[in-house]
A = this chain, B = another copy of it.
């Protein structure tokens, strides 16, 4: 499991004064990017190797709101690894007190970003993801 702490920023709340729910997915994407550090970073993967992981399915349960000043703690695991698909699971809690914030499932297809088509997961990427299997 990979743990990432993400402070809520000043401009990430909405007019209801809580974090706008689509941003939870941005936080998860940031957490997920950390799993690719072992292969030179997600930026390297995307910009140099032209490989990325576009989402095909996302499922979220929201349990508690986050506010400016809170820190989201995101525990990421790889739930499934197929030939070209990966399923990430994120358990998000509030770092200060451990309160459940959200659980998110995120199915991606490892893709050639030029053709925008699925490819078999490269061996080094697969190895990096295997380390975080649940």
Contacts and interface: CB of A to CB of B under 8 A. Distances in A.
Instruction: Work out how many copies of this chain go into the complex.
Output: 4
Contacts of A113: 16-17
A22 to B, nearest CB: 4
Interface in A1-25: 9-11, 13-18, 20-25
Interface residues of A, number: 42
Contacts of A24: 22
Given A30-B9, A68-B15, A55 B46 contact: no
Interface of A: 9-11, 13-18, 20-26, 29-30, 33, 41-44, 46-47, 52, 54-63, 65, 67-69, 113, 116
